[in-house]
């Protein structure tokens, strides 16, 4: 039997999964002699001429997310066929899916559910920072490994679904699984971090009860329930669920995204309080991975404690039977976006001081909530630095760009477009401050990075070379 090989080195051994976007194979890397997972997209998805380019770009973005809860991405490319198809090479993950776990065990202990849910929330916190949303989170995409770690699967294909793709693929299947789709997905509205949190709420609810939250004879029935039906009160099913955890779950299942927790960090902070050992759910209780995790845990300030620096307040979440306080925060991504827009309007009127003051206030509030390296916060920080630059406050702008370069380079690497933009702006700031030689040196190094990233003939590289020549005259 002829073995199919992609990328000149990856053998496709057997199909282990399939979905609306493509097939997943167990594979073997001939060069490194290791088992891998290879995801190959459906042939009829390439009707969009930008599909392959977008898929590979998103795979590149996903590869920047280094987290123990996501399978490592090893490679990406296109198949050697008459109609080439994009493929993704990833770490092969062994374990049991949450689906299989529930089928075998039924409802799980509260402490185990909290521990599993907290791991998933930690993964989402990492990916949401890069604006990578799973969009198809469900029990079959969550793998409990023998060492007790949870891997969130199928990010690699989900991230390729941007706003340019319809909710229906050319295969006729929906992008998402009805039982775990948020109302905004069903209604073709914008996907946000809260979309994934809704799905996680459904999963946590199911792990506690052993039953799907919304069911029906067909997809349309389930969709209708997701949009309009109230989820069963979790404490009616599992009265021993701690009140804050129960309130969190019901908050995650709110129909409006803005009524759900502001981010995965909030979800994690509640679930981790009640996390307990997984007991006989895992086989390798003395695994090195668990030893490592225990050491990391010990270095944190108090197991399960919420950091004193986390600005968390309690609000009353209105659902049918319990006014349980649910941790949330008073700043949303929408507030951040509106602050950037308002600052831009003020700057367009040459009102730089109020623009800078307003945006700085919101950025300062957003950093401890969402994190300094969250993609939306980074955009706002770049906008704030830009306002400083436009208002001729070059020293202040340079300070902001320097910190941004450090933060983003450690997170994304030196060839990220936003990193290189900040490098150029920093060089322009110090040029205005009279440091010509230093500025030119930085721009020359930046040109080398851009050439490596985009190619020597790229218009941005050519334009920068002309700028450098003008400065040197």
Q: Which residue among 43, 65, 91 closes a domain? A: 91
Does pLDDT of 313 surpass 80?
no
Average pLDDT over residues 272-277: 91
Q: Which residue has the tokens 């649910």?
A: 326
Q: Which residue among 278, 304, 328 closes a domain? A: 328
Task: Tokens for 148, please give them.
Answer: 């007790």
Q: Which residues are annotated as a binding site?
A: 39
User: For the chain, how long is the longest CA-to-CA vector?
Assistant: 77
Same domain as 349, residue 455: yes
Coil/strand/helix, residue 391: coil
Average pLDDT over residues 441-453: 93
Residue with more model confidence, 101 or 293? 101
Band (270; pLDDT cuts 50, 70, 90): very high
Print the SS3 string covering 280-324: HHCCCCCCHHHHHHHHHHHHCCCCCCCCCCCCCEEEECCCCCCCC
Give residue 316's pLDDT.
Answer: 37
Would you call 9 exposed, middle or buried from its count of C-beta atoms within 10 A (0-12, 13-18, 19+)?
A: middle
Q: Residues with catalytic annotation?
A: 136
**How many domains are contained in the chain?**
3
Give residue 123's pLDDT.
Answer: 94
- pTM, two decimal places: 0.77
Does pLDDT of 219 surpass 90?
yes
Residue with more model confidence, 304 or 135? 135
**Domain harbouring 374, CATH code:** 1.25.40.10
Range of the domain at 416: 333-472
Same domain as 352, residue 462: yes
Same domain as 103, residue 74: no
What sign does the CA torsion over 98, 104, 110, 112 have?
negative
Beta-strand ranges (E) seen in 19-101 are: 22-29, 34-41, 73-78, 86-91, 96-97
Band (170; pLDDT cuts 50, 70, 90): very low
Same domain as 243, residue 284: yes
* C-beta separation of 244 from 326 below 8 A: yes
Give residue 299's pLDDT.
Answer: 63
- Between the alpha carbon of residue 161 and those of residues 157, 168, 299, the distances in Å are 7, 11, 38
Band (85; pLDDT cuts 50, 70, 90): confident
Residue with more model confidence, 107 or 167? 107
Same domain as 366, residue 281: no
Task: Report pLDDT digits (tens) over 326-368.
Answer: 544 456 788 899 999 999 999 999 999 999 999 999 999 999 8
DSSP assignments along 410-444, one per residue: HHH-TT-HHHHHHHHHHHHHHHHTT-HHHHHHHHH
Give residue 43's pLDDT.
Answer: 75
Band (20; pLDDT cuts 50, 70, 90): low
Residue among 236, 219, 217 at smallest CA distance from 227: 219
Same domain as 304, residue 184: yes
Average pLDDT over residues 313-333: 47
Does pLDDT of 311 surpass 80?
no
DSSP state of 269: H
Q: Which residue among 91, 126, 144 closes a domain? A: 91
Coil/strand/helix, residue 364: helix
Share of the chain above pLDDT 90, in %: 59
The whole-chain average pLDDT of the chain stands at 85
Give residue 162's pLDDT.
Answer: 47
For residues 26 and 81, give the distance between their C-alpha atoms in angstroms, rounded to a whole number. 20
Same domain as 80, residue 112: no
Same domain as 182, residue 37: no
Does pLDDT of 168 surpass 70?
no
Coil/strand/helix, residue 275: coil
Same domain as 124, residue 106: yes
Does pLDDT of 169 surpass 60?
no
Element (H, E) at 10: strand 10-18
Beta-strand ranges (E) seen in 58-141 are: 73-78, 86-91, 96-97
For residues 115 and 207, give the distance between their C-alpha atoms in angstroms, rounded to a whole number. 12
Does pLDDT of 442 surpass 90?
yes
Does pLDDT of 314 surpass 70?
no
Same domain as 52, residue 108: no
Q: Which residue has the tokens 């659902």?
A: 319
> CB within 8 A of 325, min separation 6: which ones?
243, 244, 247, 314, 315, 316, 317
Does pLDDT of 318 surpass 90?
no
> CB within 8 A of 466, min separation 6: which ones?
none
Task: Report pLDDT digits (tens) over 110-142.
Answer: 999 999 999 999 999 999 988 889 989 999 999
Same domain as 428, residue 311: no
Residue among 103, 77, 81, 107 at smallest CA distance from 89: 77
For residues 319 and 170, give the distance between their C-alpha atoms in angstroms, rounded to a whole number. 39
Other Cβ atoms closer than 10 A to 105: 15
**Domain harbouring 266, CATH code:** 1.10.510.10
Give residue 351's pLDDT.
Answer: 95
Same domain as 76, residue 16: yes
**Domain harbouring 41, CATH code:** 3.30.200.20
């Amino acid at each position: 039997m002829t073995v199919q090989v992609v990328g000149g080195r990856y053998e496709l051994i057997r199909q282990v999964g399939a979905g609306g976007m493509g097939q997943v194979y167990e594979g073997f890397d001939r060069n490194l002699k290791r088992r891998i997972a290879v995801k190959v997209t459906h042939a009829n998805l390439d009707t969009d001429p930008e599909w392959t380019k977008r898929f590979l770009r998103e795979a590149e973005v996903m590869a920047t997310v280094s987290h123990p809860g996501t399978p490592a991405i090893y490679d990406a490319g296109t198949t050697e066929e008459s109609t080439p198809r994009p493929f993704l090479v990833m770490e092969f993950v062994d374990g049991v899916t949450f689906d299989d776990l529930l089928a075998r065990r039924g409802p799980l202990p509260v402490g185990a559910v909290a521990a599993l849910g907290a791991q998933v929330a930690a993964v989402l916190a990492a990916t949401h920072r890069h604006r990578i949303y799973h969009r198809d989170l469900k029990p079959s995409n969550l793998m409990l490994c023998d060492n007790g770690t949870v891997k969130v699967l199928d990010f690699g294909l989900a991230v390729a679904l941007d706003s340019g793709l319809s909710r229906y693929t050319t295969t006729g299947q929906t992008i998402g699984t009805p039982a775990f789709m948020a109302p905004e997905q069903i209604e073709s509205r914008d996907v946000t971090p809260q979309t994934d949190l809704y799905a996680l709420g459904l999963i946590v609810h199911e792990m506690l009860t052993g039953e799907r939250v919304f069911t029906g004879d067909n997809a349309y029935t389930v969709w209708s329930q997701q949009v309009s039906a109230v989820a069963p009160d979790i404490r009616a099913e599992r009265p021993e669920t701690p009140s804050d955890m129960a309130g969190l779950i019901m908050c995650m299942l709110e129909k409006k995204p803005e009524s759900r927790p502001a981010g995965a960090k909030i979800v994690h902070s509640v679930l981790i309080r009640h996390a307990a050992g997984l007991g006989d759910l895992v086989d390798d209780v003395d695994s090195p991975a668990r030893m490592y995790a225990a050491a990391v845990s010990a270095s944190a300030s108090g197991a399960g404690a919420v950091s004193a620096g986390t600005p968390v307040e309690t609000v009353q979440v209105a659902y049918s039977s319990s006014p349980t306080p649910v941790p949330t925060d008073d700043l949303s991504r929408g507030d951040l976006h509106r602050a950037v827009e308002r600052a831009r309007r003020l700057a367009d009127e040459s009102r730089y001081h109020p623009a800078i003051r307003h945006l700085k206030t919101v950025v300062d509030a957003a950093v401890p909530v969402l994190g300094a390296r969250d993609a939306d916060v980074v955009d706002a920080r770049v906008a704030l630095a830009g306002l400083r630059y436009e208002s001729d406050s070059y020293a202040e702008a340079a300070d902001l760009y320097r910190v941004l370069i450090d933060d983003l380079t450690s997170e994304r690497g030196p060839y990220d477009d936003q990193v290189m933009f900040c490098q150029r702006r920093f060089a322009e700031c110090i040029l205005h401050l009279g440091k010509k030689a230093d500025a030119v040196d930085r721009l020359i190094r930046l040109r080398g990075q851009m050439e490596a990233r985009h190619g020597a003939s790229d218009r941005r590289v050519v334009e920068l070379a002309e700028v450098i020549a003008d400065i040197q005259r």
